[in-house]
Structure 1
Amino acid sequence: MSLYFAYVMVGLAIAMPIGAITIEMTKQGLKNGFMHGWAVGFGGMTIDLILIFALYFGLANILAIPYIQMPLWIVGAIFLFFLAYDSIKNADKDIAIAGERVNKSLFKTYRNGLLVAVSPGNLVFWISVFGTVLSNSYAGSESSSFIIVAMGIITGILLHDIGLLTIVSITRKIMNRHMIKMTSILAGILLFGFGFYFLYEFYIGIQAFL
């Protein structure tokens, strides 16, 4: 159990810094409430779980190849630009003040979580976190440790998401429509920033080959 709780703390520590998933969760939580923010987080964790099993079966070795990593930066940037544009363009739409009925589909916010999570930053995170575990994971005696580590990190991320969305839900009760709109615009600008960072990483990768 000590191994599990140790990696719960790792999951919390990794989830704390502000990233694209956190921004999207906060935006959807403010605009449409706890469940829509949670749908984004659940979309992110869906990708996380898929990556855990994929890494266990050898994906880490493939993603470590520079020729594979570089196109992922472009794909990730495109996804983030799409979400950023949508966030700014529709900043004044799909806003439900606390107490109002929410009309936006949970599936759409879940989809946004999937798009944000399918990014090089997320892939690199899983490779780095599980790198030491993967070296022993193919030995049968270590497979149980891998599962414990994986579940610990997922639990830590889950606790972070619940805590964040609880704060967002409380904050949402004192915010008016204009404040939520401006938050959505700010979220879009930040997502554009992450997208340009991905393009920068792609540029650095290209330069390394020249």
Structure 2
Amino acid sequence: MELYLKFLLVGLSIALPVGVITVEMTKQGLKNGFFHGWAVGIGGMTIDVLLIVALYFGLAKVLSLPYVQIPLWIIGAVFLFMLAYDSIKNADQDITLAGQKVNKSLFKTYRNGLIVAVSPGNLVFWISVFGAVLADSYSTSESGSFIIAGIGILTGILLHDISLLAIVSITRKAMNRRMIKWTSIIAGFLLFGFGCYFLYEFYASIQLYI
């Protein structure tokens, strides 16, 4: 139980910094409500679970190879630019005010969560930060320690997502259509900024091997 609570706090603390998933989750939560925002979070956690399993079976060694990491930066940048363009272009579409019926498919927002999670930033995070955090539990004699630590971190991330979306849901009730539209535009520029950062990392990685 102590190990679980320890890694729950770790998961909560590493989820607090604003990242790509947080931006997309907040945008969808404001435009279409709690469950659409959460669908983005669940999409991200789906990738997180798969990465935990993959790390357990040694994927970190593959993803740590430079010729595997470098292309991921440019691929991630393209995905983020696409999401940014969509967020800005369709800022005034698919907006459902509090109390109105939501028509947008939950699967589409879940898919967005998958897309932003399959990015080099997220992969590098799991390899470096999460992999290092779990290294000690993985090396212990108790084979279940790694799984307990992984579940603890995922629980922390889940608590962060639910808390964030609860605040977003309350805020949404006081916002009109124009305010939500501009929130979507701002989110688009933030996603564009993350995409530019990925391009910079791609360029920096290339320079190391020239």
State TM-score, norm by structure 2: 0.96
What residue is the counterpart of 2:132 in the other structure?
Answer: 131
- Measured after TM superposition, the shift of residue 131 of structure 1 is 2.9
**CA–CA separation in structure 1 for the residues paired with 2:17 and 2:73:** 20
Q: 1:48 to 1:22 in 2, by over 3 A?
A: same
What residue is the counterpart of 1:196 in the other structure?
Answer: 196
Q: Which runs of 5+ in 1 are unaligned?
A: none
Deviations 1:139-184 (A, max 9, x none): 7x33201001100000000000000000000000000000000000
2:21 counterpart letter in structure 1: I
Matches within 5 A, 1:1-210: 1-128=1-128, 129-131=130-132, 133-134=134-135, 137=138, 141-210=141-210
Q: 1:132 to 1:165 in 2, by over 3 A?
A: closer
- Measured after TM superposition, the shift of residue 53 of structure 1 is 0.3
Deviations 1:70-126 (A, max 9, x none): 000011111111110110010000000000110100000000000000011111111
Q: Is the 8 A contact 2:24 2:40 kept in 1?
A: yes
The alignment's C-alpha RMSD in Å is 1.3
Three-state SS of the structure 2 residue aligned to 1:174 is coil
Q: 1:102 to 1:135 in 2, by over 3 A?
A: same
- Measured after TM superposition, the shift of residue 195 of structure 1 is 0.3
**CA–CA separation in structure 2 for the residues paired with 1:22 and 1:132:** 22
Three-state SS of the structure 2 residue aligned to 1:207 is helix
**CA–CA separation in structure 2 for the residues paired with 1:54 and 1:18:** 25
**CA–CA separation in structure 2 for the residues paired with 1:142 and 1:74:** 39
**CA–CA separation in structure 2 for the residues paired with 1:113 and 1:71:** 21
**CA–CA separation in structure 2 for the residues paired with 1:104 and 1:136:** 42
- Identical positions, percent: 71
**CA–CA separation in structure 2 for the residues paired with 1:125 and 1:205:** 16
Q: 1:63 to 1:142 in 2, by over 3 A?
A: farther
1:130 counterpart letter in structure 2: G
Q: Is the 8 A contact 1:56 1:134 kept in 2?
A: no
Three-state SS of the structure 1 residue aligned to 2:29 is helix
**CA–CA separation in structure 2 for the residues paired with 1:188 and 1:209:** 32
Query: Aligned residues, how many?
Result: 209
- Measured after TM superposition, the shift of residue 132 of structure 1 is 5.4
Deviations 1:10-40 (A, max 9, x none): 1011100000000000000000000000000
**CA–CA separation in structure 2 for the residues paired with 1:47 and 1:195:** 19
